[in-house]
Structure 1
Amino acid sequence: MIESVFKSIMDDKEPIVLYRRCLSDVKFQIAQNDELENEVNENSHSSAKILELTVDNDVVHGIYEGGLKTWECSLDLVEYLSIKSKEINFNGKKILELGCGSALPGIYLLSTQHSICVDFQDYNEHVLKLVTIPNILINTVLRPQSGNISELDILEETNCLDQLKNSRFFKGDWNGLTDILNLYSNQEKYDVILSSETIYNLDSIPKLYNVIKNALKYPNGVAYIAAKTIYFGVGGGILSFCQLIEQDNIFEVNVVYTKTAHVRREILKLSFL
């Protein structure tokens, strides 16, 4: 089963609706594969173990980084991109979404722009397989008519996986990610980097920033980081991230979007000085 999570109505266009795979559907697939999961080495982090951890924890550092959940700031980033779609030309750009999870910002661009490449990274391989890739297919090849798409529908679409030819998928920690990306020249780097709800942990902020600094194309590359001003209990947030950027003196930082709910949420735009 799927559900709609975003709707944007542009003045001169049809409404843009984004869908995601329901977590209950993910749980059902994991239950179906329970026998296979039980055969996984007990020291590995199977999808069943990760799902069990999510009952009481949004994040378990070193094991699960919240990718099964669609966080508020990812929807903020989609909203911002939709608002700015007339001003910012993404056509022909190379884009990377870091800590993608349900990947709605990257999927929005992939489904509305032409001739672009969008790569996706998440800490957990299970998240990429069970959430990210199905969400891409749902919003591109398998646009729903009634809100329901079965597993059989995906299997019967012979060109379904061909849609992924404009994307690559990377799993694991941000340490060493730039080496895996094979960015041997500035021309191979990314025009745009997207990330949402990824600066909550003080320990991981330098690693994320290092990827942005080394993977963004100079001098016109830009990064959009959507996050809460502060993440209570873990110490990260906009303030900590901005302090690191200011100390490094490589990027100019501008707040391009704000929303105040229980906690203030912002989107930062990073561009080279």
Structure 2
Amino acid sequence: MAFSFGFSGDDIDPDLTEPQPQLQAEPASQPPSSYSAFPVAGKPQLPATIHPLSSLLAQLPSKIAYDTLAIDLANDIIPNDSSSSYYPSNLSLPRRELWDVRVQLMAEDDDVLSGPSGEDRVDDGGLGKHDVKTGIYEGGFKSWESSIDLVRVLAAQDELTAAQQASSLRVIELGCGTALPSLALFTWIMHRQSLSQWPQTPCSLVLADYNPSVLRLVTMPNFLLAWALHNANDPILADAFGIEGELELSPAIVQAFENFLSSSGIHLSFISGAWSPEFISCLYELPAFSAESPAPRTLMIGAETIYSPFALQAFAQTVFALLDRERASDATAAAYVAAKRLYFGVGGSLDDFIGVARSKGATVTELREESEGVRRGVVHCVLQQ
């Protein structure tokens, strides 16, 4: 089942805003028993798979084209607050151009990017005309307005200052796509480091998307772009921005990016595949979840991840399985969820997620409400110790 949400202004990618027909998803005969966000009869879901950063970097082309998304945070940061200088009021986040992704695919002559099951078909999804194609492509090539709402909330809540009181920070972005919220956190950490106001608190950013192709072609390149733009005056990058909106890559630049992450105590991890018990097991195999990391602060973040009842159930099961596990290990853990109040025609809603969260014993705080256009909101969830 392929469909477009059909919302005006819903997708903030300028090259993908053509009017699309709104199709109604077929109703399911019964809810899935567990962790089945994207069920397709007779079709296995993509398995949970860890993708090492070095492997993704090795598949980069010689240059990548990008645009930047400007986010004005002036109304989200508390004036005169001691942390306000850590959050520049004008935030600019890079996003790789989708036409450049197409160029890379043509150069590789590889429209089928094979994950372990060989089923990750880019051409049937985000590079076509569908917002989502169930079981094939889950929307990761586009940037959605709720992800911007989540960036604003993370700035307003000043999560990075809270993280400095812990031994380490772990951020898990479920359904990351272009990863704007994680990119914002990454950019703010670099800004604090430039002000000597980030005391080398180890930070792990875990980027999870159903499609390996999204991680390879968009998510990871966006982090490399964010680092390069923040360090554009570094001599090693002096000639890398020869053409506006384009970054020339060399082995030295890629190595400098890896060196920066290592010296800054920042670790990037990438996981693809369906939300499942295997996904959670895969997550806890990462170095960031080593038992040797005492008293970490763990944030789970997700935007536009509950667009259908199936997705809502699987997302909620995953979030609360993680919160339960973190609580058992005495970690401080919370989840931020941004979504539309109602996904017309497909059945998911933020209110339904709030109901599920409270039924699991969570304390839910509604932090942001957008009433203009399509109604959206951001909520904060914690499980009490």
Question: Do Structure 1 and Structure 2 share a fold, with TM-score over 0.5?
Answer: yes
SS of the residue aligned with 2:345? coil
> Residue 307 of structure 2 aligns with which residue?
200
Question: For 1:116-131, what aligned pairs fall within 5 Å after superposition?
Answer: 116-131=203-218
Distance, in Å, in 2 between the alignment partners of 1:241 and 1:39 is: 33
Distance, in Å, in 2 between the alignment partners of 1:235 and 1:64 is: 19
Distance, in Å, in 1 between the alignment partners of 2:148 and 2:186 is: 15
Relative to structure 1, the CA distance from residue 89 to residue 155 in structure 2 (aligned partners, 3 Å threshold; closer, same or farther) is same
SS of the residue aligned with 1:140? helix
SS of the residue aligned with 1:168? strand
RMSD: 2.8
> Residue 245 of structure 2 aligns with which residue?
148
Q: Does 1:224 find its partner at 2:336?
A: yes
> Residue 104 of structure 1 aligns with which residue?
180
SS of the residue aligned with 2:280? helix
In structure 2, stretches of 5+ residues that fail to align are: 1-64, 190-197, 233-240
**TM-score, normalized by length of structure 1?**
0.86
Q: Does 1:253 find its partner at 2:350?
A: no
Question: For 1:1-273, what aligned pairs fall within 5 Å after superposition?
Answer: 1-8=65-72, 13=85, 14=88, 15-34=90-109, 36-37=110-111, 44-52=119-127, 54-55=128-129, 57-85=130-158, 88-91=161-164, 92-113=168-189, 114=198, 115=201, 116-143=203-230, 147-150=244-247, 152-153=248-249, 155-157=251-253, 158-163=255-260, 166-176=267-277, 177-182=279-284, 191-216=298-323, 217-218=326-327, 220-249=332-361, 251-273=362-384
> Residue 40 of structure 2 aligns with which residue?
none
Relative to structure 1, the CA distance from residue 25 to residue 261 in structure 2 (aligned partners, 3 Å threshold; closer, same or farther) is farther
Distance, in Å, in 2 between the alignment partners of 1:268 and 1:82 is: 14
Distance, in Å, in 2 between the alignment partners of 1:39 and 1:267 is: 34
Check whether the contact 2:121–2:137 (CA below 8 A) recurs between aligned residues.
no
Relative to structure 1, the CA distance from residue 215 to residue 141 in structure 2 (aligned partners, 3 Å threshold; closer, same or farther) is farther
- Once the two structures are TM-superposed, the CA of residue 201 in structure 1 deviates from its matched residue by 1.3
Distance, in Å, in 1 between the alignment partners of 2:73 and 2:290 is: 40
In structure 1, stretches of 5+ residues that fail to align are: none
Check whether the contact 1:78–1:104 (CA below 8 A) recurs between aligned residues.
yes
Q: Which moved more, 1:99-108 or 1:207-216?
A: 207-216
Check whether the contact 1:154–1:160 (CA below 8 A) recurs between aligned residues.
no
- Once the two structures are TM-superposed, the CA of residue 16 in structure 1 deviates from its matched residue by 2.9
- Once the two structures are TM-superposed, the CA of residue 179 in structure 1 deviates from its matched residue by 1.1
Distance, in Å, in 2 between the alignment partners of 1:43 and 1:87 is: 39
Can you list the C-alpha shifts for 1:128-181, whole angstroms capped at 9, x where unaligned?
00000000111124438675233x325440222445661110001001211111
Distance, in Å, in 2 between the alignment partners of 1:188 and 1:24 is: 43
- Once the two structures are TM-superposed, the CA of residue 242 in structure 1 deviates from its matched residue by 1.4
Distance, in Å, in 1 between the alignment partners of 2:150 and 2:367 is: 10
Distance, in Å, in 2 between the alignment partners of 1:90 and 1:22 is: 32
Distance, in Å, in 2 between the alignment partners of 1:100 and 1:28 is: 23
- What amino acid does structure 2 have at the position aligned with 1:97? E
Check whether the contact 1:97–1:119 (CA below 8 A) recurs between aligned residues.
yes
SS of the residue aligned with 2:102? helix
Check whether the contact 2:113–2:120 (CA below 8 A) recurs between aligned residues.
no
SS of the residue aligned with 2:154? helix
- Once the two structures are TM-superposed, the CA of residue 27 in structure 1 deviates from its matched residue by 1.8
**Seq. identity, %:** 26
> Residue 194 of structure 2 aligns with which residue?
none
> Residue 11 of structure 2 aligns with which residue?
none
Relative to structure 1, the CA distance from residue 118 to residue 40 in structure 2 (aligned partners, 3 Å threshold; closer, same or farther) is closer
Distance, in Å, in 2 between the alignment partners of 1:272 and 1:262 is: 32
- What amino acid does structure 1 have at the position aligned with 2:268? S
Distance, in Å, in 2 between the alignment partners of 1:87 and 1:109 is: 8
- What amino acid does structure 2 have at the position aligned with 1:202? P
Can you list the C-alpha shifts for 1:165-222, whole angstroms capped at 9, x where unaligned?
6111000100121111126869698611110000111012222112211223326311
SS of the residue aligned with 2:172? strand
Relative to structure 1, the CA distance from residue 248 to residue 58 in structure 2 (aligned partners, 3 Å threshold; closer, same or farther) is same
Structure with larger RCO (C-alpha < 8 A, sep 6+) = 2
Higher-Rg structure is 2
